[in-house]
Structure 1
Amino acid sequence: MKNAVILVIDDDPKIRNLLRRCFEVECRKVREAHDNKTVLAALAAGPVDLVTLDLNLGTDDGLDVAKTIRKTSTVPIIMVTAKDDVIDRVVGLEIGADDYITKPFHLREVLARVKSVLRRSPGIVLPPKVAAATVCWKFDGMRVIPDEMKLLDRDGEWVDVTSDEFKLLIAFLMRPKRVLSREQLMDLTKGSSYAPMDRTIDNQIARLRKKVERNPASPRLITTIRGMGYSFTCDVTPCADPVRSNSASANSD
């Protein structure tokens, strides 16, 4: 993808310079950051299409930085780090990382993974004023409060969802209109703790459809892409007050 903007986050200037030169050769624009403060400044400078993030940023924790990014952005994140512990990998994917590369790495591998992620989805950074007020997401008349793990239906009532169903829903909401394979969804919701032929994702999607679709027998939000996986086809937008906003919608019907 030509002219994509990539944000490289690493506390090592040599690594930042290496990745910057690698990406710029491919006609991509690069911004750099080394801690939470410079990350916020880089995001405020304009839209970003992809982030590479080191988990060890000296005084800052890369996972905390990822959480900060996810409060305001659905931009794809590739974690490039020396931390290869399974726990770190799983937590990173649960937070919303799209891929995970361990150091030392080969530049061709990093570039190939970046190209793959950029082909699947361009990053979307929400306007700062909207992001600052966002405490929930809304889609098709429903609302999700991530920090409280709550889902509100179209009448403003709480929907009973399991933690696995909520993780699955969040995985879709953070990647709207992208095709996600079963393997990707398993990585995003369960990390590496699953068998290759595990079909629990299909069962969870069937249950989730019953809770978010207007007609579960003919799903329009979570669609099956034959031979590829699933896609959340609805627009996802931020909102500031999930209860009040939903009540207002219900009263206006």
Structure 2
Amino acid sequence: MERTDHILIVDDDAEIRTLLQRYLEKNGLRATAVADGRAMRQALDRGAFDLVVLDVMLPGDDGFTLCRELRARSDIPIVMLTARGEEMDRVVGLEMGADDYVPKPFSARELLARIKVILRRARSLPRNLQPEEERSIRFGGWTLDTVHRHLVSPTGVITPIGGAEYRLLRIFVEHPNRVLTRDQLVELTQGREADALDRSIDVQVSRLRRRLGDHADEAVMIKTVRGEGYVLTVPVEKEGA
């Protein structure tokens, strides 16, 4: 029998929790709803979940803090709910490792569609994105360990990398010397259509460059192609298991 995906909803609004839980269950998913970070941790300790729907505005630890905590302990997909829908909230959420965001007020139908896209992507990554295909990837003096998900600098310093940054870097090293448009990067890393006014992918590229010491004004690894997108210009070497 096919396993039913289990969604964890974290929102302090009881009406929203009830609405989402009932709607997701009506559409063939399992759903558990909790009100805060403490209850979220307890739920995660008790059982396995396939995706977390996480509100930004929560009592105690806010959604950004919980997103960072989740990403440090697992690769579980995260969809963030933001009351204001401001671009900075979206950017911060994605930088913390969220897979997508939905501004409030939102349509339960749209949220369900986004959840299904993310779950489908998580289970249907191309073979060249599966971590078991290669244990390490070397580029520009850096090494990406795909098993332990950390970066090793040219001087040997080990730095954990996860969430949006990891997915973005994987896309670049899997497509070296190929110009990738912003729309392509959004679709490949976040599984959604790009908003023409959404510049979050630029922020993520800038953050990744800083991590790699590849500054935008004199980038040597991830270069900007004006009017098109970005390209990784250094050689890439892969080592298998």
Q: Conserved in 1, the CA contact under 8 Å of 2:97 and 2:164? A: no
What CA distance in whole angstroms lies between the structure 1 residues aligned with 2:63 and 2:105? 17
Note the C-alpha offset of 1:206. 3.5
After TM superposition, list the pairs within 5 Å mapping 1:155-234 onto structure 2: 157-158=156-157, 170-172=166-168, 181-184=184-187, 185=189, 187-188=200-201, 190=203, 197-200=227-230, 203=231, 205-207=232-234, 210=235, 213-214=236-237, 220=238
What CA distance in whole angstroms lies between the structure 1 residues aligned with 2:109 and 2:48? 25
Shift in CA distance, 167/56, structure 1 to aligned 2, threshold 3 Å: closer
Shift in CA distance, 68/110, structure 1 to aligned 2, threshold 3 Å: same
Note the C-alpha offset of 1:140. 2.5
Q: Conserved in 1, the CA contact under 8 Å of 2:37 and 2:60? A: no
* Matched residue SS, 2:52: strand
* Matched residue SS, 2:75: coil
What CA distance in whole angstroms lies between the structure 2 residues aligned with 1:96 and 1:54? 14
Partner of 1:140: 136
Shift in CA distance, 27/182, structure 1 to aligned 2, threshold 3 Å: same
Note the C-alpha offset of 1:173. 7.5
Partner of 2:64: 63
**RMSD between aligned residues:** 4.1
Are 1:22 and 2:35 an aligned pair?
Answer: no
Partner of 1:9: 10
What CA distance in whole angstroms lies between the structure 1 residues aligned with 2:21 and 2:162? 36
Identical columns (%): 32
Partner of 1:152: 152
What CA distance in whole angstroms lies between the structure 2 residues aligned with 1:20 and 1:195? 44
Structure 1, residues 106-138: CA drift from partner, whole Å, max 9, x if none? 11111111111111115xxxxxxxxxxxxxxx9
* Matched residue SS, 1:48: coil
Partner of 1:100: 101
Partner of 2:117: 116
* Matched residue SS, 2:105: coil
Shift in CA distance, 169/13, structure 1 to aligned 2, threshold 3 Å: closer
Note the C-alpha offset of 1:139. 3.9
What CA distance in whole angstroms lies between the structure 2 residues aligned with 1:11 and 1:75? 21
Partner amino acid for 1:40?
Answer: R
Partner amino acid for 2:229?
Answer: R
Partner of 1:39: 40
Where do 5+ consecutive residues of structure 1 fail to align?
123-137, 145-149, 215-219, 222-233, 236-253
Structure 1, residues 16-74: CA drift from partner, whole Å, max 9, x if none? 11000011012211122222211111111222111111000123211001011111111
Q: Which has the higher contact order (CA 8 A, sep 6+)?
A: 1
How many residues get paired? 184
Shift in CA distance, 32/166, structure 1 to aligned 2, threshold 3 Å: closer
What TM-score do you get using the length of structure 2 for normalisation? Answer: 0.62
What CA distance in whole angstroms lies between the structure 2 residues aligned with 1:107 and 1:116? 14
What CA distance in whole angstroms lies between the structure 2 residues aligned with 1:41 and 1:99? 24
Shift in CA distance, 192/21, structure 1 to aligned 2, threshold 3 Å: farther
Where do 5+ consecutive residues of structure 2 fail to align?
124-133, 138-142, 175-182, 190-198, 207-223
* Matched residue SS, 2:12: coil
What TM-score do you get using the length of structure 1 for normalisation? Answer: 0.59
